[in-house]
């Protein structure tokens, strides 16, 4: 590391659990963020500030005025700009040495199959059920850790999936891919602004732990947060023997 890097990342380096070796792992890591909205904004900012060497942001949407209530990486003067490029500008304003690849695309299987072989971790910051399952399946195929979160109204959830652990459940073990339900989104149901910031920040924390190899990743658990009551709850989750996604990747 350079002298500037030693100074910039000194507060992480001072942590025995990270140190110079952990920070060097972050500098060499590649994080893929799917979704550049309320969850992706704080996640990208914290990963960039922490010095993750390469961050790929995937989102096909543009910044809208209604986004600015909660999507903190975007600004009023970037309304109408692609969200992925807006996040790249926001990260570079904090840490210009991080490589940020902005892809104005919808995540699909072909794109993920191209990106994931070189990825250290994936953060699912999307806002729909189909994309979550698509990302989960790709991470299982390529054995890349996944940090998934969701937020709606006053409720959030977080799950860490590590396909490298043969005993760890995947997203499909908990939420069946063929489940039929009415999709609810922020655009119609609303969301409390600090909730997405909280959940996106926690995604960054879990991703950094995985990349730096520090702490205990939150696998085998589904964590739920009711910010209205400031109440955390969680449940232990197990791998389904007949999971349609991960049972063949033991």
Rounded-to-integer distance, Cα 208 and Cα 203, Å:
9
Is 243 known to be catalytic?
Answer: no
Establish if 198 belongs to a structural domain: yes
Phi first, then psi, for residue 181 (nearest 5°) are: -155, 165
Establish if 71 belongs to a structural domain: yes
- Annotated catalytic residue within 125, 139, 186, 243: 186
Rounded-to-integer distance, Cα 111 and Cα 236, Å:
32
pLDDT average, residue stretch 209-236: 96
Residue 128 CA from chain centroid, whole number: 14
Query: Above pLDDT 70, what percent of the chain?
Result: 96
pLDDT at 181 over 60: no
Establish if 135 belongs to a structural domain: yes
At 247, list the tokens: 């049972």
User: By residue range, what is the domain housing residue 143?
Assistant: 3-236
Q: What angle do CA 46, 109, 27 make, to 5 degrees?
A: 30
Contact, 74 vs 91, CB < 8 A? no
Domain holding 85: CATH number?
3.40.50.720
Q: List pLDDT tens digits, range 143-160.
A: 999 999 999 999 999 999
Establish if 245 belongs to a structural domain: no
pTM: 0.95
How many separate domains does the chain show? 1
Establish if 105 belongs to a structural domain: yes
């Amino acid at each position: 590391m350079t002298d500037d890097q030693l100074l910039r990342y000194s507060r992480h380096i001072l942590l025995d659990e990270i140190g110079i070796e952990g920070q060097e792992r972050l500098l060499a890591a590649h994080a893929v963020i799917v979704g550049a909205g309320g969850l992706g904004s704080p996640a990208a900012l914290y990963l960039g500030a922490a010095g993750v060497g390469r961050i790929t942001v995937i989102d096909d949407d543009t910044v809208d005025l209604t986004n600015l209530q909660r999507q903190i990486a975007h600004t009023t003067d970037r309304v109408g700009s692609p969200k992925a490029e807006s996040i790249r500008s926001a990260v570079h304003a904090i840490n210009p040495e991080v490589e940020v690849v902005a892809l104005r695309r919808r995540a699909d299987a072909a794109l993920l199959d191209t990106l994931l072989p070189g990825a250290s971790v994936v953060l699912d910051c999307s806002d729909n059920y189909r994309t979550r399952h698509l990302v989960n399946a790709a991470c299982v195929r390529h054995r890349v850790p996944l940090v998934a979160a969701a937020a709606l109204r006053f409720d959030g959830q977080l799950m860490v999936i590590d396909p490298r652990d043969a005993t760890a459940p995947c997203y499909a073990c908990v939420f069946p891919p063929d489940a039929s339900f009415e999709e609810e989104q922020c655009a119609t149901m609303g969301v409390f602004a600090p909730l997405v910031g909280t959940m996106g920040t926690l995604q960054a924390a879990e991703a950094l732990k995985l990349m730096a190899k520090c702490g205990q990743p939150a696998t085998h658990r589904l964590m739920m947060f009711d910010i209205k009551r400031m109440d955390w709850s969680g449940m232990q989750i197990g791998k389904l023997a007949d999971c349609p996604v991960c049972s063949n990747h033991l």
